[in-house]
Chains A and B, each alone.
Chain A
Amino acid sequence: MDLKTFLTENRKAILDRWLSQIVKTYPADSSNFLLNNTNRFSNPVGQTFLREIETLFNGLIDEADSEAIVNSLEQIDKIRAVQNFTASQAVAYVFFLKTAIREELDRSPDDENLTRDILSLESKIDGMALMAFDSYMHCREKLFEVRCNDIKRQASLFGGPNIEKRKHRS
């Protein structure tokens, strides 16, 4: 069996493992909610993870263009960049895919082809992790940009929205 077939056939099991590991980075009382509430508006965090890791997984198998992958990474990073995580904890979710695949492989009969191909797949996942770090940094920079703009907006409270026009009139 080649790796692509293995991943395709075991897609659901691997994605379940991956998601389960991501939600375990939250306290136990919360991880149940993140995993089990399936409404995308009541549980936007859990449902975003569910949706985007599937896109990432498909992208990895089908070698999708990097734009789609970056977009999915950003959806997840945007959330984790404003939660209680260090940078390494925030982007670690990409590496959890390696564990999820390895655990699923352990349940399958030994296959030399798979073992060889898995190394190349893991390099791709490493690349994805680097992209996730870029995306995470982008989100953090955006957060501070938003904060700066908010301060500017507050400062304009003392001049009003049409400050230039007001200066001109006075």
Chain B
Amino acid sequence: MSDKLQKPEQLVQIDFAPSKKDWMDPKVEIRKGTFNWAAIPKSTKYLDLPNVRKWQPTDDDWQLPDNWKEIILEGFRDRLKRFRSLKIFMDICVRCGACADKCHFFIGSGDPKNMPVVRAELLRSIYRNDFTTAGKILGSIAGGRKLTKDVIREWFLYFYQCTECRRCSVFCPYGIDTAEITMIGRELLNLLGLDIDWISTPAANCFRTGNHLGIQPHGFQDSVDFAIDDIEDNTGVRVDAPVNKKGAEILFVVPSADYFADPHYYGFMGYLTLFHEIGLDYTFSSFASEGGNFGLFHSNEMMKRLNVKIYSEAKRLGVKWIIGGECGHMWRVLHQYMDTMNGPADFLEAPVSPITGTKFENAKSTKMVHICEFTADLIKHGKIKLDPSRNDKWKVTYHDSCNPARAMGLLDEPRYILNKTCNHFYEMPENTIREQTFCCGSGSGIGTDENMEMRMRGGFPRANAVQYVKDKHGVNMLSCVCAIDKATLPPLMEYWVPGTEVCAVHELVGNALIMTGEKDRDNDLRGEPWAGEEDTADV
């Protein structure tokens, strides 16, 4: 809702059509509910970022450096030289419009500046004006715009209204990756000290302790110990979950929310029960205690700084290969950047499952396997016993988290697992899943409470598809494999599709898993009774 109330005389002149502003007009209204708070100086200082100061997007004066224009143009020039993809994306678009109606923020808001083509034009127009001969001579006739402070405000608003989900890129005939355009837009903004807090503070924490929440090694160990106790309460089995064990075969890296947040934690319990049951020789690292990498949402350099800990901890602990947990953007970093950014990891071996002997050829280069690939392989080879009826109270659907789906092609493994661990699994409509999946609307560091109105707009296409399967099949559980999804889908469901819970795929695995020596389990990993036992639970 707009902050500005209309005066009575304005109400009399009823005209509800919006003003016919061209997209080239950079003036924007910065309204509460639709932006993220600025980074706090403590975090930006910790990360050695430029122009450290206290400011907010609602301020009239953003306290930009005096030479702000020079900084942006020089930063742009530098990136055009360094990143060939950026140069191509700036030149190649023919404005065919294939991407225009594919963005969840455009679909949910009806704001044309959220059309991916226009979002790219916000940057491209400056490129044309200052870096092409036609633009330098013809200016706006050639699609150029002058770089002004209003453009900077517009960039700030719209490059933080993109979740870098890359749905638009699926439809672009030239393969323009709008996420990379947003990444460059944010990098340029960061040169002026225009960072947001939900990216900078987790990144600073991660740089300091290895995870977004700033949990120190003893806190990490405590969390693992609590999970071990909870599993014992629930199953009667005391599992082993080693931390910093040198010489283990496998390093296991998870997003930090897995061992602290709800509902992630139940998936974490699921991993631990599974690894115990198959007798896996693995270890956590209390320093590589975060798979997620908020550096991806900040800059190329920040992503590299935060990612380096995974290979260095693998080396320190002397493992052979790595398994990664249920995380979203972590997998974009691992699958598309890590190998060339911090690799090659030639001190590791190509991953081979010690239980099934399966060689994970797809991970031969990065040496890192997704937990769903690993679990699906176990199930396929009959290495674990499952009782899917334990999940009978859930009618489950699956949200393809953007990055595992589109950045690494993880489409079938989670579905295979769900079909083996649940009796009631229903797909959402075709154009809302797999490669075409709709984003949760809160990825890439914008999932904050102050941005809730924008998140609800962006998440509407996803919620609308969930509502459809809820109406048709009675779906009451939305499963996913991304920590940001698990944090942001619950509020989305609360607003749009009440009565729908959110879970990790490995929570359902942990429920269905029949463990050797388990007690007569009467509760699921949430401590709630199995299906059909709710009514008698208190008797």
Q: Quick one: closest A residue to B114, CB to CB?
A: A30
Report the bound CA distance from A37 to B23 in whole Å: 22
B84 an interface residue at 8 Å Cβ cutoff? Answer: no
**How far in angstroms is the closest Cβ of chain A from B41?**
21
Q: Quick one: closest A residue to B223, CB to CB?
A: A160
A92 touches B226 (CB 8 A): no
Known contacts A28-B20, A83-B108, then 20 further A-B pairs from the complex at CB < 8 Å, ordered by chain A residue = A27-B21, A27-B112, A34-B110, A41-B461, A41-B468, A78-B495, A82-B495, A84-B2, A86-B1, A87-B1, A89-B16, A92-B16, A142-B495, A146-B494, A147-B452, A147-B491, A151-B449, A160-B223, A160-B260, A160-B262
Identify which of B4, B226, B487 contacts A86 (C-beta below 8 A). B4
B494 touches A79 (CB 8 A): no
B257 touches A157 (CB 8 A): yes
Report the bound CA distance from A158 to B262 in whole Å: 11
Question: CB-defined interface of A1-43 with B at 8 Å, one 1/0 digit per residue?
Answer: 0000000000000000000010011111111011001011111
B429 an interface residue at 8 Å Cβ cutoff? Answer: yes
A109 an interface residue at 8 Å Cβ cutoff? Answer: no
Contacts of A145 in B (CB 8 A): 494
**How far in angstroms is the closest Cβ of chain A from B209?**
14
B452 touches A146 (CB 8 A): yes
- 24 chain-A/chain-B pairs, Cβ below 8 angstroms: A27-B21, A29-B23, A41-B432, A41-B464, A42-B107, A42-B431, A44-B461, A45-B107, A78-B495, A79-B460, A82-B460, A85-B2, A86-B4, A86-B5, A88-B6, A88-B11, A89-B2, A90-B1, A153-B261, A156-B262, A157-B213, A160-B259, A160-B260, A162-B230
Question: CB-defined interface of B122-156 with A at 8 Å, one 1/0 digit per residue?
Answer: 00000000000000000000000000000000000
A66 an interface residue at 8 Å Cβ cutoff? Answer: no
B495 touches A26 (CB 8 A): no
Report the bound CA distance from A71 to B109 in whole Å: 21
Hey, which bits of chain B sit against chain A, CB under 8 A? 1-2, 4-6, 11, 14, 16-18, 20-21, 23, 31, 34, 100-101, 106-112, 115, 213, 223, 226, 229-230, 257, 259-263, 265-266, 429, 431-432, 449, 452-453, 456-457, 460-461, 464-465, 468, 487, 490-491, 494-496, 527
Report the bound CA distance from A24 to B110 in whole Å: 11
B17 touches A25 (CB 8 A): yes
**How far in angstroms is the closest Cβ of chain B from A142?**
6
Question: CB-defined interface of A60-101 with B at 8 Å, one 1/0 digit per residue?
Answer: 000000000000000000110111111111101000000000
**How far in angstroms is the closest Cβ of chain B from A84?**
6
Report the bound CA distance from A92 to B432 in whole Å: 31
A115 an interface residue at 8 Å Cβ cutoff? Answer: no
B110 touches A41 (CB 8 A): no
A143 touches B429 (CB 8 A): no
Report the bound CA distance from A147 to B451 in whole Å: 9
Contacts of A143 in B (CB 8 A): 452-453, 456, 495
Contacts of A42 in B (CB 8 A): 101, 107, 431, 461
Identify which of A83, A150, A156 contacts B109 (C-beta below 8 A). A83
Please provide the 8 A-B residue pairs with the shortest distance between their CB atoms, ordered closest to farther: A161-B262, A44-B464, A26-B110, A30-B110, A29-B112, A82-B456, A147-B452, A86-B2
**How far in angstroms is the closest Cβ of chain A from B376?**
27
Report the bound CA distance from A14 to B440 in whole Å: 36
B110 touches A27 (CB 8 A): yes
Contacts of B213 in A (CB 8 A): 157-158
**How far in angstroms is the closest Cβ of chain B from A12?**
23
Identify which of B16, B263, B432, B457 contacts A161 (C-beta below 8 A). B263
B449 touches A154 (CB 8 A): yes
Q: Quick one: closest B residue to A33, CB to CB?
A: B101
What number of residue pairs across chains A and B have CB atoms under 8 A from each other? 145
A78 touches B496 (CB 8 A): yes
Q: Quick one: closest B residue to A142, CB to CB?
A: B495
Given contacts A30-B112, A33-B101, A37-B101, contact A146 B1 (CB under 8 A): no
Report the bound CA distance from A129 to B5 in whole Å: 19
Report the bound CA distance from A89 to B432 in whole Å: 30
A149 touches B1 (CB 8 A): no
Contacts of A26 in B (CB 8 A): 18, 110
Given contacts A41-B429, A149-B494, contact A157 B261 (CB under 8 A): yes
A169 an interface residue at 8 Å Cβ cutoff? Answer: yes
Contacts of A140 in B (CB 8 A): 1
A165 an interface residue at 8 Å Cβ cutoff? Answer: yes
A166 an interface residue at 8 Å Cβ cutoff? Answer: yes
A82 touches B16 (CB 8 A): no
Identify which of A83, A147, A169 contacts B110 (C-beta below 8 A). A83
Q: Quick one: closest A residue to B261, CB to CB?
A: A157
Report the bound CA distance from A31 to B452 in whole Å: 24
Max chain A Cβ within 10 angstroms of own Cβ: one of B110, B257, B265, B495: B110
Q: Quick one: closest A residue to B229, CB to CB?
A: A169
Given contacts A27-B18, A27-B111, A150-B491, contact A160 B468 (CB under 8 A): no
A160 touches B11 (CB 8 A): no
**How far in angstroms is the closest Cβ of chain B from A10?**
23
**How far in angstroms is the closest Cβ of chain A from B231?**
11
Report the bound CA distance from A90 to B2 in whole Å: 10
Q: Quick one: closest A residue to B100, CB to CB?
A: A33
Report the bound CA distance from A166 to B460 in whole Å: 36
Contacts of B18 in A (CB 8 A): 25-27
B460 touches A45 (CB 8 A): yes
Q: Quick one: closest B residue to A29, CB to CB?
A: B112
Identify which of A30, A157, A158 contacts B111 (C-beta below 8 A). A30
B429 touches A150 (CB 8 A): no
B265 touches A150 (CB 8 A): no
